[in-house]
Structure formats: structure tokens, C-alpha cells
Amino acid sequence: CRMLCRPVMNDSVQIASSTGVSKKRTLEPPARVGDAANFRIIRRLFSDYIRTQWATFAAALGFMIVTSAASGTIPLIVNQTVKTLFIDKQANMLAVIPILVVALMTVRAVSWYAQQTLIDTVGERVVSSVQRAMFDRLIRRDLASLNAFPSSQFVSTILFDAPLLRG
């Protein structure tokens, strides 16, 4: 069980240094969603990166509204189907209602696919822009600051941390 069992999680972490002296550090709680710093970061992301994608983002929002409207219409159609076919016994609607349901589901599926594709496109473009900006700043750093950190840290940040923006 020594290899598979994790130690109990708590608020403090023992950190061993190369000198053999261990320090005890208390972990800070994660930032809450409503913090002002998070709001500033999100506002900066919107102003620097998503603002240039406003048309694609607006189209995705439009498709989201269509998807929501189509999803909200499904219970109305089911209610109308029950009233028309079973209560009013209108047999002539038996051909119309399935066509209406198929058309509604097609609109819903196409709008869902379009909004998902557009949001993914915006996300990929934002990540690409962030990676490009990080690389541009890295290239312009002086040699002393570049030598202060291992190159793998820079590569890891550009390749693996920037895509975390997608969520």
C-alpha cells in the first residue's frame, strides 16, 4: 500500500531543500471566482485576445440562443402532440407532427454543432495568440534572465500552460 496509497492531504507541505533543512509552508486556499484579480484577468483576456474574435464569438452566441430555443420548444411540441393526437383525436396530424419533430431536432443539432465549432475556434485562436505573445516576450528577454531558469520551464509554459485557457 506504500506505493498506491497517497498521504492524507492537509494545509501544510514539507519542503526539503538541497541543504537538508526542511521548511514547512502553509498552502493558500484557491482563489474564488468573484475575486477582483480574477475579474481583471478575464477582462484583460477579453480586451487583448477575444475582442479580435468578436464576430465569431457573436455568431456562436447566436447559435447558442437558437439551440436553447429549440431545446425549450421540445416540451411544447410533446404537449401539443398529446393534446392533438390523444385528447382531440385528430388523425390528420399524425403525419405532420413527426416531420415537425425531425425538423426541430435537425435545427437543434445543426445549431449546437455550429456553436460548439465556433467556440472551439475562438478558443484555439486565443491560445495561439497567447502562445505567440509569450514567445515574442521570451525572445526579447535578456540573456541573464534566460539563463536563470531551465529552458524546459519556458517550453513547458508555452506548450502546456497556455492551452489551459481553453478550460
Per-residue pLDDT of the chain (167 residues; tens, 9 = 90+): 444 444 444 444 444 445 555 555 555 555 565 677 888 888 888 888 888 889 999 999 999 999 999 999 999 998 998 898 888 888 888 888 889 999 999 999 999 999 999 999 998 998 899 889 988 988 888 888 888 888 888 888 888 888 887 76
Q: Is the dihedral of CA 143, 148, 153, 158 positive or negative?
A: negative
Q: Rounded CA gap, 13 and 15, in Å?
A: 6
The confidence score (pLDDT) of residue 144 equals 85
User: Looking at residue 36, what is its pLDDT?
Assistant: 79
Longest alpha-carbon distance in the chain = 87
With 0-12 / 13-18 / 19 or more C-beta atoms within 10 angstroms meaning exposed / middle / buried, residue 163 is middle
Cβ neighbourhood burial of 29 (10 Å; 0-12, 13-18, 19+): exposed
Report the pLDDT value the prediction gives residue 9, as an integer from 0 to 100. 43
Enumerate residues 6+ apart whose C-beta is below 8 A from 56.
118, 121, 122, 125
User: What is the pLDDT, as a whole number, of residue 155?
Assistant: 86
Distance of alpha carbon 37 from its chain centroid, rounded?
19
pLDDT for 55 equals 94
Q: Is 29 left (phi over 0), alpha (psi -120 to 50) or beta?
A: beta
**Rounded-to-integer distance, Cα 25 and Cα 9, Å:** 14
Question: b/e map of 82-112 (b: 16 or more CB within 10 Å)?
Answer: eebeeeeeeeebeeebeeeeeebeeebeebb
Q: Does this model's pTM top 0.85?
A: no
